[in-house]
Amino acid sequence: MGEELHKCPACGSGAVAEIYRLDAIPVQSCILLDSAEEARDFPRRPLLLKFCDDCGFVFNAVFELEQVDYASTTEESQHFSGTFNRFAKELASEVASLYDLKGKKTLEIGCGKGEFLQELAEQTGTLGLGVDPGFIPERLPGADGHEIRFQREYFDPETIAETPDFVVCRHTLEHIPAVGQFMDDIATAIDGRTDVGIFFETPDVRRVLDEGAFWDIYYEHCSYFTLGSHARLFRRAGMDVTKLYLAYDDQYIIQYAEPSTGRPPLPEEDDLDAVRALAKSFPAKVAEIRAYWTDFVRSRHAEGKRVAIWGGGSKGVSFLTTNGLGEEVAQVIDINPFKQGRYLPGTGHLVSGPDSLKETPPDTVIVMNPIYLNEIGADLAKMGLTPELVAV
């Protein structure tokens, strides 16, 4: 187990308290593994979530960064979903409406496979630089035609040769343990300029606390934010938050920021009292929800019913491993072709494409993200399947 943190990595406060503990979970949930044995033997580590009463930040106090290898063969892309693609296009359009990026330099930190940077370049004419250790060049043919370059490495301001005009960081901040230092690194990258725009997208933990959504807690996510704690992190780093809201069925924080000119806080930032109450009630809530879903799956299995989960990513891995579900779940389905034929860390479940359900029709399908319920329901209907369909 990593050395336990007793101070908040976001604000330095010692007013932190445990709200959730797991003894052992897989250290990576999006990794692609080639055999069930390798998957079942995949390394696990404990998780200990603490809540900071002073700033509202939630963090894994025993996280070990060296356990997570983002340069390994991982598959986090959601761009095989039409729902997610529409959302990404709308976000790029929103950025285009707020900033004139034509011919200007955009830095995307944690660009993944590069799909969003490509979309941004197409819509704005920006000159893109994507930085990510897991970038795979052959997955983005034609990127060079949009004047995009990639550095297959971890973000380090020392390797960013030119000061960006715009900084994008989507679904990366939650993977950073030293969030205060990360903000300092961004400040170094923009080199004192006051005309740089910043756009972040990060999962919202307030919903997780409210719903007891244990499937949204996994090892790679060591840092968890609400609207308010996200904004407070940026304000402590000398930045103004200019736009702040929830998107994607209220699952994601969308935040725009700029180097500070002294703008007052936005109303959405005032959430600390509400989040304190949710953190206090979370241990009981998450225990209740874990028990509900464990009973849901095991009771159907005991009745001889075939249960499938749809979503072979982090949520699916967490749903299975947190509650020790194995043979009770007969199938794991994912539309991402790069996940199909691979095995989930922790349980060793094989990930299959939707067509496999025609051969072995399920009685129950549990959808790992409710925003995809209609999309998945339509896919099942096209195959002539009418299982019990529920979402976490």
pLDDT per residue as tens digits for the range 46-93: 999 999 999 999 999 999 999 998 766 654 545 456 777 889 999 999
The second-level CATH assignment, the architecture, of 298-391 is 3-Layer(aba) Sandwich (3.40)
90-94, 132-136, 157-161, 178-182: range with lowest mean pLDDT? 132-136
Give the single-character DSSP code of 202. E
Element containing residue 131 per DSSP (H, E): strand 127-131
Whether 1 shows a pLDDT value over 90: the answer reads no
What is the pTM assigned to this prediction?
Answer: 0.93
Torsion of CA 379, 253, 147, 107, to 10 degrees: -150
For residue 144, pLDDT over 60 is answered with: no
CA atoms within 13 A on the CB side of 197: 18
Least confident among 54-63, 140-149, 163-172, 181-190: 140-149
> Do 82-274 and 298-391 come out as alike in CATH topology?
yes
Q: Provide the phi-psi class of 348: left if phi over 0, else alpha when psi is between -120 and 50, else beta.
A: left
CATH number of 82-274: 3.40.50.150
What is the helix (H) or strand (E) element at residue 316, kind and residue range? helix 314-322
Hey, where are the domains in the chain?
A: 16-63, 82-274, 298-391
Show the tokens assigned to 329: 């779940």
Residue 254 reports pLDDT greater than 90 = yes
pLDDT in tens, 288-341: 999 999 999 999 999 999 999 999 999 999 999 999 999 999 999 999 898 999
Q: Which two tokens stand for residue 359?
A: 């051969």
User: Average pLDDT for residues 117-141, to the nearest whole number?
Assistant: 86
